[in-house]
């Protein structure tokens, strides 16, 4: 915590404000900083409820995605020590070396997402398998001693949590903590397991019913790569000696590839482990699911514009692979949209629209009139209606409601047809419109997709699909369109079904025609001499080229044309729809500034062109010149850009004083002597040390009175 006091001393801090008050304050912030303070409360509430919906949705999705992995892990863990508990007397069990069961959990390189997975994992473990779960991180365990300390601390604390009423336990633990070795861990384990056994049935609410007699102790190594080899080896060797007394299970969290196990552990150590591999879903698939469930649905009124979506996806694919960050970015979009767009009050579910539209104030109506998409709409209307729209608020409201409902319908249809189109394009060779539906979505948002070359080529390819593919595609399309509730697509479904029956009829006809078509082939086989063979082949080719289209081909053309017509009708880019600004967030530049910051560039701008941030007219410099009004550090920075790898401090000071003195030319005579003014000298030294602090220069040992530049470029 910081104070505004300059002096050192003791300060009393009141405990931080309660949660509820905090949210009030944010609502307040929403209001007072936004320039148009219209309906801020409502906007804030809408934003919050929308985000909560989305959040719970994403959590549900992630739970489902991880379910398979966690189930596998749980079954592995429950299997791991049961073998030995059941048949310890059997010969093979006596002879076999008792290995430590180990799960190698490959999670992918997006380390930031692992937190969530591990949290879910330890929750599941504690619910189903064992209360004893320890999560170790490499940064806490530089040595085996720290590792043991951390491990025992976590295990014993979790025991205290179970029955916190007993004070004796705490005392015991604090005594034991001094000796952090395996035997004390084992004795602790014995005591806790014995205690749960001897407990009266009434007392054990949750322990023994879900866990067994001796639940395993699970140790999770969060980031296997970062652990030092020695620590891991020592720990494994130690615990393998006590595996009979302490049923230990290890889980290695691996970000790269399971090869790392062999790289970190020699054979003598890895032979103590019984390693099984578990792989989580790839993060790209994870993202696809998230996009599918959050963006390509009409459940949420809020939409992302093309550029914004592109920024988010690019950050994901180019930089971090982190789904969490993607969702965070999405959240930022929501907040930014509701914060900056006063009309976002109307960005709500269809049921609420009517009420909200009719309670709009006059100012808000003016806001609607100012929207570019609305202006375009007005211009298309006849003059009488134009005047009504621009002057009559209640008329405007009626019209707005209608338009918003249209927009909603458009979204529903858009998603269906997009999915249909995706079914088509994803089965084409080379994927001219992209393999993933998100690519297709971006293409459709960007501009009229049917005007692009890729669309043209994919239609060409679609006209060459074989029958079985085409039939399955059509069936999928029918399924997608059937799943919509509205009656919009009844006709389309009917048409597609008709196509399907026609294909089936074709099959019947084709079997009849087959005997006829075989005949030229047969002829070919009869001929033996070369000349005749050539002749017939040429004839065949000729006939094939000029041949009329078969029925199948005709039908195929019809299908593709029909799909094309659907696309042209429903996949109109969103930015051509009226009132799209209300639900679409388009501030890509803002988002990029927040999520993909460029500190180096910002620093350079600040030092090179202080006017950019300070907004002081005096600082405005034209064309590379150095203004002497600029802060000292800016002058020093600009001068240093002109130097090479090593900078002579004396020269630098000369240049600095020249620049600074330029203003005070009136008393230049006084300063004409070689001596630099003490004040200027001090200012220079301060500026240079500030520059050093920022990491641009460092003192050099190569030459006296020189400093080395740490950056390149600039000149």
Partner 1 sequence: MRAGRGGGAAAARGGGGSGRGADHFLSLHLRRDVHVWVTNYRDIKMPNLEHPAYPAADLLHLEGLVPCRESQVSTLLSIFGERQQFSFPSIFIYGHTSSGKTYVMKTLLTTLQLPHVFVNCVEYFTSRLLLEEILTQLQSCPSGTEQTSPVHCDTLSDFVRLFKQALATQELQDQTVYIVLDRAEQLREMEANILPAFLRLQELTDRNVTVILLSEIVWELFRPNIGCFEPFTMYFPDYSIGHLQKILSQNHPPEYSADFYAAYINILLGVFYMVCRDLKELRHLAALNFAKYCEPVVRGEANERDTRKLWKNIEPHLKKAMQTVYLREISSSQWERLQHDDGEPGQLKGLSAHTHVELPYYSKFLLIAAYLASYNPVRTDKRFFLKHHGKIRKTNFMKKHEKTSNHLLGPKPFPLDRLLAILYSIVDNRVAPTANIFSQITSLVTLQLLSMVGQNDQLDGPRYKCTVSLDFIRAIARTVNFDIIKYLYDFL
- Contacts to partner 1 by CB under 8 A: 79, 83, 91-92, 95-97, 99, 101-102, 104, 106, 108-109, 111, 144-145, 175, 179, 181-183, 223, 225-226, 234, 237-238, 241, 255-262, 267-268, 270-271, 273-277, 279, 282-284, 315-321, 596-601, 695, 698, 710-712
For partner 1, the closer CB: 419 or 709? 709
Cα dihedral 482, 483, 485, 488, rounded to 10, equals -40
Nearest approach in angstroms of CB 166 to partner 1 is: 21
Q: Contact 314/595 with Cβ under 8 angstroms?
A: no
Residue closer to partner 1, measured from CB, 131 or 253: 253
Q: Least distance to partner 1 from the beta carbon of 81, Å? A: 11
Using the minimum distance from each CB to partner 1, give the nearer residue, 99 or 336.
99
On whether the CB atoms of residues 634 and 703 are closer than 8 A, the answer is no
Helix (H) or strand (E) holding 354: helix 350-358
The distance of closest approach from Cβ of residue 607 to partner 1 in the complex, given in angstroms and rounded to an integer, is 15
Q: φ and ψ at 251, to 5 degrees?
A: -125, 120
Segment (H or E) for 275: strand 273-279
Round to whole Å and give the CA distance between 477 and 94: 60
Closest approach of partner 1 to the CB of residue 706, in Å: 16
SS3 at position 220: strand
Taking the least distance from each CB to partner 1, the nearer of 489 and 696 is 696
Nearer to partner 1 (CB atom), residue 107 or residue 360: 107
* Beta carbon of residue 570, minimum distance to partner 1 (angstroms, whole number): 33
Closest CA to 660 of 642, 643, 640, 636: 636
From the CB of 485, what's the least distance to partner 1, in Å? Answer: 39
User: Who contacts 172 (Cβ-Cβ below 8 Å, separation ≥6)?
Assistant: none
Extract the tokens encoding 259.
Answer: 């090869």
- Residue whose CB is less far from partner 1, 231 or 353: 231
Q: How far is the CB of 640 from partner 1 (least distance, A)?
A: 16
Query: What is the DSSP annotation of 514-572?
Result: HHHHHHHHHHHHH--SHHHHHHHHHHHHHHHHHPPPPHHHHHHHHHHHHHHHHHHHH--
Q: How far apart are CA 171 and CA 150, in angstroms?
A: 18
Of 92 and 501, which CB lies nearer to partner 1 in the complex structure? Answer: 92
Q: Distance (Å, rounded) from C-alpha 624 to C-alpha 638? A: 9
Q: Provide, rounded to whole angstroms, the least separation between the CB of residue 101 and partner 1.
A: 8
Spatial CA neighbour of 72 closest among 278, 371, 228, 260 = 278
CB of residue 308 vs partner 1: minimum separation in angstroms? 17
* Closest CB to partner 1 among residues 247, 301: 247
101 or 342: whose CB is closer to partner 1?
101
Whole-angstrom distance, CA of residue 407 vs CA of residue 118: 41
Handedness of CA 53, 54, 58, 59 (dihedral sign): negative
Q: Which residues of 526-555 are buried (b: 16+ CB within 10 A; e: fewer)?
A: eeeeeeeeeeeeeeeeeeeeeeeeeebeeb
- Minimum Å distance from CB 319 to partner 1? 4
Nearer CB in complex with partner 1: 516/715: 715
């Amino acid at each position: 915590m910081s104070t505004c006091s300059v002096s050192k001393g003791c300060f009393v801090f009141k405990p931080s404000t309660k949660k509820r008050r905090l949210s009030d304050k944010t609502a307040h912030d929403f209001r007072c900083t936004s320039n148009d303070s219209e309906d801020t409360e409502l906007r804030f509430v809408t934003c919050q409820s929308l985000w909560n919906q989305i959040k719970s949705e994403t959590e549900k999705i992630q739970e489902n995605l991880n379910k398979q992995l966690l189930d596998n892990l749980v079954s592995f863990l429950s299997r791991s020590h049961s073998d030995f508990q059941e048949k310890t007397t059997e010969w093979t069990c006596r002879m076999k070396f008792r290995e430590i069961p180990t799960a190698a959990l490959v999670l992918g390189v997006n380390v930031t997402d692992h937190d969530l997975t591990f949290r879910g994992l330890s929750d599941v473990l504690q619910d189903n398998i064992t209360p004893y779960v320890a999560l170790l991180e490499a940064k806490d365990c530089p040595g085996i001693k720290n590792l043991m300390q951390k491990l025992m601390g976590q295990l014993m604390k979790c025991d205290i949590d179970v029955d916190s009423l007993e004070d004796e336990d705490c005392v015991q633990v604090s005594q034991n903590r001094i000796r952090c070795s395996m035997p004390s861990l084992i004795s602790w384990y014995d005591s806790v397991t014995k205690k749960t056994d001897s407990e009266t049935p009434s007392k054990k609410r949750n322990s023994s019913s879900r866990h067994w007699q001796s639940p395993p102790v699970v140790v999770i190594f969060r980031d296997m790569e970062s652990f030092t080899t020695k620590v891991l080896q020592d720990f494994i060797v130690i615990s393998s000696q006590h595996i009979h007394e302490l049923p230990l299970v290890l889980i290695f969290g691996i970000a790269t590839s399971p090869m790392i196990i062999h790289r970190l552990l020699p054979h003598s150590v890895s032979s103590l482990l019984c390693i099984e591999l578990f792989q989580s879903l790839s993060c790209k698939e994870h993202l696809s699911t998230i996009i599918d469930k959050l963006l390509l649905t009409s459940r949420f009124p809020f939409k992302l514009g093309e550029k914004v979506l592109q920024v988010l996806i690019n950050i994901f694919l180019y930089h971090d692979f982190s789904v969490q960050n993607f969702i965070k970015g999405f959240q930022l979009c929501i907040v930014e949209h509701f914060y900056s767009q006063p009309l976002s009050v109307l960005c709500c579910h269809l049921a609420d629209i009517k009420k909200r539209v009719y309670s709009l104030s006059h100012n808000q109506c003016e806001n609607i009139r100012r929207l570019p998409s609305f202006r375009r709409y007005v211009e298309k209307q006849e003059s009488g209606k134009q005047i009504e729209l621009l002057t009559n608020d209640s008329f405007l409201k009626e019209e707005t409601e209608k338009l918003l409902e249209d927009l909603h319908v458009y979204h529903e249809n858009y998603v269906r047809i997009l999915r249909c189109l995706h079914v088509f394009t994803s089965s084409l060779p080379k994927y001219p419109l992209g393999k993933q539906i998100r690519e297709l979505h971006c293409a459709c948002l960007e501009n009229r997709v049917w005007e692009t070359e890729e669309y043209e080529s994919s239609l060409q390819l679609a006209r060459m699909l074989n029958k079985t593919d085409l039939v399955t595609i059509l069936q999928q399309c029918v399924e997608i369109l059937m799943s919509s509730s509205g009656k919009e697509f009844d006709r389309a479904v009917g048409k597609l079904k008709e196509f399907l029956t026609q294909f089936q009829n074709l099959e019947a006809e084709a079997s009849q025609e087959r005997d006829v078509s075989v005949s030229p082939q047969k002829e070919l086989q009869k001929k033996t001499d070369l000349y005749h063979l050539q002749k017939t082949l040429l004839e065949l080719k000729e006939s094939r080229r000029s041949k009329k289209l078969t029925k199948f081909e005709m039908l195929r053309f019809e299908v593709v044309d029909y799909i094309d017509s659907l696309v042209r009708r429903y996949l109109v880019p969103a930015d051509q729809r009226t009132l799209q600004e209300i639900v679409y967030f388009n501030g890509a530049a803002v988002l990029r500034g927040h999520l993909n910051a460029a500190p180096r560039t910002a620093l350079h701008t600040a030092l090179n062109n202080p006017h950019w941030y300070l907004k002081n007219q005096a600082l405005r410099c034209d064309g590379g010149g150095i203004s002497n009004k600029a802060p000292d550090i800016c002058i020093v920075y600009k001068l240093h850009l002109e130097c090479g790898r090593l900078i002579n401090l004396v020269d630098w000071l000369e240049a600095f004083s020249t620049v600074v003195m330029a203003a005070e030319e009136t008393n230049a005579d006084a300063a004409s002597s070689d001596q630099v003014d003490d004040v200027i000298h001090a200012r220079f030294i301060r500026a240079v040390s500030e520059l050093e602090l920022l990491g641009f220069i460092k003192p050099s040992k190569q030459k006296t009175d020189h400093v080395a530049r740490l950056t390149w470029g600039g000149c």
